[in-house]
Structure 1
Amino acid sequence: MLWRHKHTSSYKLLVQNSSLHFLLFLTYTMTLCQALVRTSLLSSHFFIHHLPSSFPTIRHGFQRNCRRIRCIPEVSIPEAVAISEPSILEPSEDLSKDTVEQLISPQNKDNVSKLMKMERKPTNTAVVPETNGRWFPYLDEFRVNGVSLSSGEVVEALDPLILDVRKERFRNVVKHRSYGVCLVVEGLSDFGNVSAVCRSADALGLQSVHVVSCGSSKRYRDNRHVSMGSEKWLDIEVWNSTQECFDVLKSRGYRIATTHLGKNTVSIYDMDWSCPTAIVVGNENRGISEEALKLSDLHCSIPMNGMVDSFNVSVAAGILMHHAVCDRTSRLGSHGDLTSEENQILLAEFFLRHSKSAISIAGDYAKRKSSNPMPKL
Structure 2
Amino acid sequence: MSPERFARINKMLDNRQPDLTLCLDKVHKTNNIAAVIRTADAVGVHQIHAVWPDIEMRVSGNTASGSQQWVKTIKHYHMDDAQQAFRAQNMQVLATTFSETAVDFREIDYTRPTAIILGNERDGVSQEGIAAAGQHIIIPMIGMVQSLNVSVASALVMYEAQRQRTAAGMYGTRKLDEAYCQKMLFEQGHPIYAKACRRKSIPYPAVDMEGQIVASDEWWERMRAPEVESA
User: By the TM > 0.5 criterion, same fold?
Assistant: yes
Q: Greater share of helix residues, 1 or 2?
A: 1
Give how far 1:212 is off.
Answer: 0.8
Q: 1:357 is matched by which residue type in structure 2?
A: Y
1:333 and 2:169 matched: yes
Q: Is the 8 A contact 1:188 1:214 kept in 2?
A: no
1:256 alignment partner in structure 2 = 93
> Are residues 215 and 200 of structure 1, via their aligned partners in 2, closer, same or farther at CA, if it must alter by over 3 Å?
farther
Contact 2:30–2:58 (CA<8 Å) still a contact in 1? no
* Correspondent of 2:137 among 287, 300, 303: 300
Alignment of 1:11-90 (within 5 A): none
Cα distance in 2, alignment partners of residues 165 and 353 from structure 1 = 16
Determine the C-alpha separation between the residues in 2 that align with 1:308 and 1:186. 21
Question: How far off is 1:262 after superposition?
Answer: 1.3
Q: TM-score, normalised by structure 2?
A: 0.79
Q: 1:255 to 1:218 in 2, by over 3 A?
A: closer
SS at match of 1:184: strand
Query: Which of 58, 64, 69 matches 1:227?
Result: 64
- CA–CA distance in 2 between the matches of 1:303 and 1:294? 22
Q: Secondary structure at the match of 2:111?
A: coil
Match of 1:211 in 2: 50
- Structure 1 282/356 Cα, relative in aligned 2: closer, same or farther at 3 Å? farther
Structure 1 CA distance for aligned equivalents of residues 81 and 56 of structure 2: 24
| 2:152 pairs with 1:312 | no
Write the mapping of 1:154-233 to structure 2, written as runs, cut at 5 A: 162-213=1-52, 216=55, 220=59, 223-233=60-70
Matches of 1:237 and 1:219, distance apart in 2: 12
Q: Which structure has the larger Rg?
A: 1
How far, CA to CA, are the matches of 2:216 and 2:90 in structure 1?
Answer: 35
| Cα distance in structure 1, aligned partners of 2:105 and 2:21 | 15
| CA–CA separation in structure 1 for the residues paired with 2:182 and 2:108 | 34
What secondary structure is seen at the aligned counterpart in 2 of 1:209? strand
State the one-letter code of the partner of 2:69. Answer: K
SS in 2 for 1:327: helix
Question: Pick from 264, 268, 274: which aligns with 2:111?
Answer: 274
Could you tell me how far 1:362 is from its partner in structure 2?
5.3
Paired AA for residue 165 in structure 1 = E
SS in 2 for 1:300: strand
Aligned match of 1:34: none
SS in structure 1 opposite 2:141?
coil
1:284 paired residue number? 121
Q: CA RMSD in A?
A: 2.4
8 Å CA contact 1:233, 1:353 repeated in 2: no
Which whole-Å deviations, capped at 9, do the CAs of 1:109-137 have from their partners, x for residues lacking one? xxxxxxxxxxxxxxxxxxxxxxxxxxxxx
Deviation of 1:344 after TM superposition, in Å, equals 4.2
- Greater RCO structure (CA 8 Å; 6+ sep): 2
Find the partner of 2:187 among 353, 356, 374: 353
For residue 200 of structure 1, what is the amino acid of its counterpart? T
Cα distance in structure 2, aligned partners of 1:367 and 1:305: 66
Quick one: percent identity of the two aligned structures? 26
5+ residue gaps, structure 2 = 206-214, 220-231
CA separation of 1:240 and 1:337: change in aligned 2, threshold 3 A:
farther
**Matched residue type, 1:275:** R
- TM-score under structure 1 length normalisation: 0.50
- CA distance in structure 1 between the partners assigned to 2:187 and 2:73 by the alignment: 14
Gaps of 5+ in 1: 1-161, 370-377
Name the CA shift for 1:298/1:164 in 2 (closer, same or farther; >3 Å).
Answer: same
Contact 2:28–2:57 (Cα < 8 Å) also in 1: no
Q: What's the offset of the Cα at 1:352? A: 3.1
Deviates more, 1:179-188 or 1:359-368: 359-368
How far apart are 1:285 and its partner, in Å?
Answer: 0.3
Kindly provide the CA deviation profile for residues 239-295 of structure 1, in whole angstroms up to 9, marking residues without a partner as x: 110011102211221111011111100111111111100011111100000111112
Question: What is the deviation of 1:237?
Answer: 1.1
Matched AA of 1:209:
I
CA contact 1:174–1:346 (8 Å) conserved in 2 = no
Number of aligned residue pairs: 204
Q: Which amino acid aligns with 1:213?
A: W
Distance 1:211 1:288 in 2: 12
Post-superposition CA distance 1:140-182 (Å, at most 9, x none): xxxxxxxxxxxxxxxxxxxxxx121110110111121111210
